[in-house]
Each structure stands twice: as structure tokens, then as C-alpha cells.
């Protein structure tokens, strides 16, 4: 994604309430208890899911009739777009399918529980108009956002598909790590704004967020990693420093050093520390304060 300006405002309007998170944990326990039964019923469930997806698509297509939208299914999502029908279909079967497959293979065992719509608007004008008309939203970002309440990813696909791979991470993270802190949710999402496939795995490459982070590092306006990792959602989204870039390049460091998957597993398992600090120290084999200078030097040495 190559946006016209460096953006430090939030990309996602995201809220997962503790009540919902608890509900999901209870649901997971029930699923685990009935695992054997569900395994036997898997083909039936897949067929039911496919029918529900098609019914959702048909209903949405009917609702949008005559307004210039194409509506297609790309499991587990329904894709809606105002580009040409050919373009909408190729985005769904191409980039979207590729990203879903790699995210599910590398990262996430569970798909989002409910059907989620992926709205792809051709430019910022139709994106803002559509966000208002269909969801009553005035987006804070020109790129896109995930609305858990509307079960929709709403985005301007004009600047590039990086917004789509970013936003896709959020519903998967919500389903698999319900009490994920904002820094890790946005760090991983931002990592995949410039995705590549390497040895069958999804890899995030150095992107447009680097220069601003380097600038803030040199100006010594960044807090410590420990402080950034301890932010609440409000603190993270309202930060005066570039919290997105800081979280992103911590995730990229771990990825580039072969430790991101291990960290994710340790983080999810560590219910006592939802900042991720103890999991990170365990994976790095050193204290955060000791690691931080190496991370800062690594960021300053990166080139786009």
C-alpha cells in the first residue's frame, strides 16, 4: 500500500467487549467438549456454512440491486464491490483467497464465527459515501476499517490491496485471540500491509511506515517497548507517537528472526500477562530492557 501521506491515526475502528470475549471462551469450551461429535459432523457443517454464505450473498445482492455493486462469495466471506464485475471477482478469487489461505495455514485455526462482509470501494469518494450510507460511519481513515458490530470490513481498495490484507487480520484475531491487546492486533495487521509468500508462508516486508518510525527513534520521542506493549486500546489508538509503526516493526523483527509464530503461541497461552511482555522475554531469552537497544539499532538499519 502506498498511501499519499504517512498516517498515524487508527486504521481500525475496533472494539471487542470483555463480555463478548468471555462468551467466545465459553463457546470454545463447549466446542472442545463436543469435539468428537463435531468431527463426525464436519461435512454436514461445511455444507450448511456454504448454504448460509450463498443465502447471505443473494440477500445482499437483492438489497443492492441497481446500485452498481457486484456481490460474490469467497468463503468464509461475502465480497461486495463497486468496481467492474470482473475486477471484483478477480480480487476475491485472487488476492483475497491467497491471503485467507496463508493466514489460515500459518496463523489461525478458527475462522470468524459469523459471516463477514468485505466491502471494496473503488476510491475514497465512494468509500466515504458507502460507509455513511450503509453503516452510518464517518471513517477517521482514508483506507479502511473493521466494524465488528456490522460484521464488515469496509475499505477503499483504490490505493492498493494492502488495506485488505491488513483488515483481514482483525476478524481472524478476534476469533482466535479474543482478548488480544490493540498493539499486537494492529502490529500483525500492519505487518501484512505489504505481504509476500516465501516458502509457502505469508511474510510482511518493510513498508511505508518505516521512515516515520526512524524519524521518531532519532528524535527520541518513542516510549520504551514495555510502555507501548502496556497500552490500553484507547492509549494505543490515541498515542502521540507512531504506535502502529512501533508495533509493526516489533512484529517484523520477530518474523525476520524466525520467532513470530513462537511468540504468538506463547502470548495466547500466557493468560496472566496480556501485555505480551513475559511471553516476549521467554521467547527472546532475555529481558525486554536488554533487548530494546538491539531492536532500535535493527530498525535504524532497515531500508525500504
Least distance to Zn ion, CB of residue 107, Å: 15
d(CA 204, CA 11): 17
Using the contact rule CB under 5 A, the part of the chain among 147-155, 182-190, 220-228, 247-255 near Zn ion is: 182-190
Least distance to Zn ion, CB of residue 146, Å: 7
Between 11 and 213, CB nearer to Zn ion: 11
Between 76 and 162, CB nearer to Zn ion: 162
* 194 makes contact with Zn ion (CB under 5 A): no
Helix (H, G, I), strand (E, B) or coil at 108: coil
What is the chain's alpha carbon radius of gyration, rounded to the nearest angstrom? 20
Nearest to 186 by CA among 131, 145, 138, 135: 145
Between 141 and 278, CB nearer to Zn ion: 141
Strands 144-147 and 152-156, by their bridges, are antiparallel
Between 93 and 232, CB nearer to Zn ion: 232
- Site map (CB under 5 A) of Zn ion, residues 141-180, x = contact: ----------------------------------------
- By beta carbon distance, the residue nearest Zn ion is 12
80: part of which helix (H) or strand (E)?
strand 77-81
* 214 makes contact with Zn ion (CB under 5 A): no
Between 161 and 283, CB nearer to Zn ion: 161
Residue 104, CA atoms < 13 Å, CB-side half-sphere? 11
Among 1, 7, 11, 152, binds Zn ion (CB under 5 A): 11
Instruction: Give the E-state strand segments of 111-204 in sequence order.
Output: 116-121, 144-147, 152-156, 195-198, 201-204
* 12 makes contact with Zn ion (CB under 5 A): yes
Do residues 181 and 23 touch, judged by C-beta distance below 8 A?
A: no
Between 173 and 284, CB nearer to Zn ion: 173
State the CB neighbour count (10 A cutoff) for residue 56: 19
Among 157, 189, 202, 260, binds Zn ion (CB under 5 A): 189
Interface ranges with Zn ion (CB under 5 A): 11-12, 186, 189
Amino acid at each position: 500500500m502506498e498511501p499519499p501521506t504517512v498516517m498515524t491515526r487508527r486504521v481500525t475502528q475496533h472494539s471487542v467487549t470483555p463480555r463478548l470475549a468471555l462468551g467466545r471462551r465459553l463457546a470454545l469450551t463447549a466446542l472442545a467438549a463436543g469435539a468428537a461429535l463435531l468431527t463426525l459432523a464436519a461435512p454436514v457443517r461445511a455444507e450448511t456454512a456454504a448454504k448460509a454464505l450463498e443465502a447471505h450473498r443473494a440477500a445482499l445482492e437483492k438489497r443492492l440491486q441497481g446500485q452498481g455493486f457486484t456481490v460474490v462469495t469467497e468463503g468464509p466471506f461475502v465480497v461486495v464491490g463497486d468496481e467492474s464485475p470482473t475486477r471484483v471477482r478477480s480480487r476475491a478469487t485472487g488476492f483475497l483467497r491467497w491471503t485467507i489461505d496463508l493466514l489460515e495455514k500459518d496463523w489461525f485455526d478458527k475462522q470468524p464465527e459469523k459471516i463477514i462482509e468485505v466491502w471494496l470501494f473503488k476510491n475514497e469518494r465512494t468509500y466515504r459515501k458507502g460507509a455513511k450510507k450503509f453503516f452510518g460511519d464517518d471513517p477517521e481513515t482514508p483506507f479502511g476499517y473493521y466494524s465488528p458490530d456490522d460484521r464488515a470490513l469496509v475499505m477503499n481498495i483504490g490505493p492498493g490491496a494492502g488495506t485488505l490484507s491488513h483488515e483481514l487480520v482483525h476478524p481472524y484475531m478476534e476469533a482466535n485471540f479474543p482478548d488480544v491487546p490493540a498493539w499486537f492486533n494492529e502490529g500483525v495487521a500492519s505487518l501484512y500491509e505489504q505481504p509476500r509468500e516465501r516458502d509457502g508462508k505469508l511474510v510482511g516486508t518493510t513498508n511505508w511506515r518505516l521512515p516515520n518510525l526512524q524519524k521518531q527513534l532519532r528524535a527520541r520521542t518513542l516510549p520504551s517497548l514495555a510502555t507501548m506493549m502496556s497500552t490500553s486500546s484507547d492509549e494505543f489508538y490515541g498515542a502521540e507517537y507512531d504506535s502502529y509503526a512501533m508495533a509493526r516493526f516489533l512484529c517484523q523483527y520477530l518474523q525476520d528472526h524466525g520467532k513470530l509464530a513462537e511468540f504468538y503461541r506463547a502470548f495466547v497461552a500466557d493468560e496472566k500477562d496480556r501485555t505480551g511482555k513475559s511471553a516476549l522475554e521467554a521467547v527472546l531469552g532475555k529481558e525486554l530492557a536488554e533487548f530494546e537497544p538491539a531492536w532500535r539499532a535493527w530498525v535504524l538499519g532497515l531500508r525500504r
